[in-house]
Structure 1
Amino acid sequence: MSFSQLGLSNTLLNAIQTRGYTQATAIQQDVIPVMLTGRDVLATAQTGSGKTAAYCLPLLERYLQTTHSQARTVQSLILVPTRELAVQVGDTLRSLSLGAARPPKLAVLFGGISINPQMLHLRGGADIVVATPGRLLDLHSKNAIKLDQVACLVLDEADRMLALGFAEELKQILALIATQRQNCFFSATFAPNVAELAQTLLNDPARVNIPDTEASKPDITQRAIMVEATQRTQLLKHLFQTEKWSRVLVFVATKYAADLLSTKLRRAHISAEAFHGEQTQGKRSQVISDFKASRVKILVATDVAARGIDIYQLPVVVNFDLPRSSDDYTHRIGRTGRAGEAGLAISFICADPANEAHFRLIEKRHNIKIAREQIAGFIPSEDKLALAQTARASDPNGGIKGKRPNKKDKLRAQMLTKET
């Protein structure tokens, strides 16, 4: 469907054309007309489906159709869980509003950098704000921003926001914004606690669920390679060199693992950098810039840091450590195969029953079956391979981490119950 059929102004249609968009994606077709009516929205679609533009375009259309005074007040608030996603959303809003006679004043707010420049930028107000919850509350506590005129609240990656422990911050923000407003929830997946929160906050929402079909699924080839844990680094180097990958995004479980693996790769004369939440924002921005420009060939990232990364034509994602949950698997492999490009996702399966069971349950929840490969020179012993085959994925609490609530999960659930 053409964007011209969705009720958007010529200003935005010209901006869309400049960005190279041709046809609206499925989620854009369903969400844009509904958001333009002011109705609440609960939308789910796979990573890379175009949901950022799906809500940015209606927000900009509302701004363009509103009579503005000299004083700017925050009309639209977009909450995101990570700095990188905040930057990505901000870039989308800027590029789509370049042709406006009076472009909106946009504020992109996140922690990890000095708060003073953000306070200076907010002098005179803002029209649209993209923010991580913690930094937004910090700025509000310093009287740098007012939120009582917010007409539309968007939660992007709502599942990750609650998983990262933002429930209390979200509760405080909801108490600061106008009660009469449009609410829109967007995510690739919706955990039960997010569904409960949506039921509480959304008023008769339009439910938009774009299922994975053969036509809409990203073109991602998925592979699983059996390997002993101690040989994973050597296997990664072997694949990088023999398959001549231009760039690779590698996922690990911890910040320590990210630092350690990137160091080992650099010692092997491979340009690699770690990417995790303990780095300064300046360091993270530089690493992403270098990776996009192919000055860094292998980016080793944790799940928290990598959510929201949008790298054009990223050919390969490697699960060096398996993801904690099946939802994280979706988000990880969704970093490749974006915008119609083909992608490759490889998972290293350690030759032990626990790791094999972990991956089998991921397969079960995604209704997929991936053949186990063995690479010459990295084949586990027959004993270990035989032992791995004893793993079972039938136990609903086994295999995949995170299904059985840990201490933090229980605390977050209690917090959400108090809010509702």
Structure 2
Amino acid sequence: MSYFEELGLAEPILRALNSKGYSEPTPIQRKAIPSLLEGRDLLGIAQTGTGKTAAFSLPSLHRLASETTGRHPAGCRMLVLSPTRELAAQIAENMRHYARFLDLSVQCVFGGVPVGKQAKKLVPGCDVLVATPGRLLDLIDQRALTLRHVEIFVLDEADQMMDLGFIKPLTRIANLLPKERQSLFFSATMPKAIADLGKRFINNPVRVEIAPQSTTAERVDQYVTFIDQKEKTALLTISLRKGIESGEIERCLVFTRTKHGADRLVRHLSAANIVAAAIHGNKTQAQRTRALDGFREGRVPVLVATDIAARGIDVPGVSAVFNFELPNVPEQYVHRIGRTARAGRDGMAISYVSPDEKAYLRDIQRVIGVQLSSVPLPANFNEQAAALPKPSRKPAGAERAESSGAETRKPRGQRPPRRPKAQISAKPRGDGKPRKNNSKGRNAGQNASQNSGQKRQASRNQSAGSR
């Protein structure tokens, strides 16, 4: 008998777990699930990639399946809030799998897509709703959603939600929730100030902490290379070429501090024939989904991202994380490198540190309690860097089409000929009659205007002469 069977989880949930090959719980699941089955509020702290989603999903789905209260129109029984669209979609996908043999509906709403379509899906109500705060409040303001029937409230990545300025939306959402509810907070880090804020939303919680706060995954080898900022692009290109060709790098994430920096880096990598895509807040939801799908499926081995992708993106096979620029918040480093060494695998994290980033490095090492191993520049670095191709100012046609979903624009000689103006003017009107070509009338009007002006000028000249 497995641990999940011993807990008494519903048979359909056990069947779903068996289909995914889950038999033994992770530490956070082992410590959290029993308390959640008792209906307790919970504050769970565990480093990323340790199975927090299953830790709150399994007992919650068991409760929803056991207490068949029915769905309420435009309502939900369980609400899960996530800071990013990608993490919300991932949580919903996992919960749908756990509930695949249950008569439970799981919906997911986030920004970047039409709100009307999401509102229609919520008309009959659902059992589980995974959402980002902004889109959730949009639907509430449009009276497309009510929270009065919520029985379980989950805040995933609680520290980031509050730290990114979501405290006011969260306070408003909490005020709309029933007072009698089960509340769950899960996060990889929980500084004291953030924990104090969390007391507004949870009552007498069970605290479950698997690893010391702000520690990094044990199976991640961490390195640092000291280098000038202007030389980082060349070093990354050379390292990725070598790693991909040797098979040492299967998939890797590259983190930049800015959106424009991510796009610029993709152009440089593409010029060196390294397939890469960028994901950040300026991309449309379709572009972000396409880039992430390509990365997950292995068609795009390099994903360049801002910290929007640092939380909760569970992509198997990420063998390395490159910190092209260090984050200025030490805890963010923990989330970045947590994208590798998942599910028991080994991983590698490499940080490029310019002189002005050394203070960030000191803060990171002090918080994580680990001294990063220094790695020198490769031999003949200057010669290799000088031989790299220069990127175009704009993305290449194929890259532009991949990022926008549009076809590459055809060369001028291959485009279909434009219709003559006469054909355009002869296009039928709505009543079926051909349009008149008014070019002659316009010319006549212009000539008449010119003649009138000439007559007035002659009259003024004659008048001046008489005076």
Common fold by TM > 0.5: yes
Where 1:75 maps in the other structure, the secondary structure is strand
Larger relative contact order (Cα-Cα within 8 Å, sequence gap ≥ 6): 1
2:203 counterpart of 1:208? no
Cα offset, 1:220, TM superposition: 1.1
**Residue identity in the other structure for 1:78:** V
Q: Which residue of 269, 285, 290 maps to 1:286? A: 290
- In the other structure, the counterpart of 1:403 is none
Q: Mark the structure with the bigger radius of gyration.
A: 2
Where 2:200 maps in the other structure, the secondary structure is helix
Correspondences of 1:14-163 after superposition (within 5 Å): 14-69=15-70, 71=72, 73-100=75-102, 102=103, 104-163=104-163
**Residue identity in the other structure for 2:284:** T
Measure the CA separation in 2 of the matches of 1:105 and 1:137.
Answer: 21
Cα offset, 1:377, TM superposition: 4.1
Q: Structure 2: which 5+ residue stretches go unaligned? A: 383-467
**Contact residue 223 and residue 350 of structure 2 kept, 8 A:** yes
- In the other structure, the counterpart of 2:353 is 349
2:223 counterpart of 1:219? no
Q: Which residue of 317, 321, 326 maps to 1:313? A: 317
Measure the CA separation in 2 of the matches of 1:131 and 1:192.
Answer: 26
Cα offset, 1:68, TM superposition: 3.6
Measure the CA separation in 1 of the matches of 2:71 and 2:290.
Answer: 36
**Contact residue 6 and residue 29 of structure 1 kept, 8 A:** no
Bigger Cα displacement from structure 2, 248-257 vs 200-209: 200-209
**Residue identity in the other structure for 1:250:** V
Cα offset, 1:36, TM superposition: 0.9
Deviations 1:337-367 (A, max 9, x none): 11111111111122x2x32232122111111
**Contact residue 227 and residue 378 of structure 1 kept, 8 A:** no
**Residue identity in the other structure for 1:86:** A
Deviations 1:54-74 (A, max 9, x none): 001111001110124364641
Count of equivalent residues: 374
Share of identical aligned residues, percent?
A: 40
Measure the CA separation in 1 of the matches of 2:326 and 2:71.
Answer: 52
**Residue identity in the other structure for 2:66:** Q
Where 2:353 maps in the other structure, the secondary structure is strand
TM value normalised by structure 2: 0.77
Cα offset, 1:305, TM superposition: 3.9
Cα offset, 1:202, TM superposition: 1.9
Where 1:241 maps in the other structure, the secondary structure is helix
Cα offset, 1:192, TM superposition: 3.4
Deviations 1:318-348 (A, max 9, x none): 0000012111000000000111111111111
Measure the CA separation in 1 of the matches of 2:191 and 2:71.
Answer: 42
**Contact residue 78 and residue 154 of structure 1 kept, 8 A:** yes
- In the other structure, the counterpart of 2:369 is 367
Measure the CA separation in 1 of the matches of 2:71 and 2:161.
Answer: 34
Where 1:337 maps in the other structure, the secondary structure is coil
Measure the CA separation in 1 of the matches of 2:197 and 2:144.
Answer: 28
TM value normalised by structure 1: 0.86
**Residue identity in the other structure for 2:220:** I
- Classify 1:340/1:2 alpha carbon distance in 2 versus 1 (closer, same or farther; 3 Å): same
- Classify 1:112/1:306 alpha carbon distance in 2 versus 1 (closer, same or farther; 3 Å): farther
Measure the CA separation in 2 of the matches of 1:326 and 1:172.
Answer: 29
Bigger Cα displacement from structure 2, 60-69 vs 329-338: 60-69
Cα offset, 1:84, TM superposition: 0.5
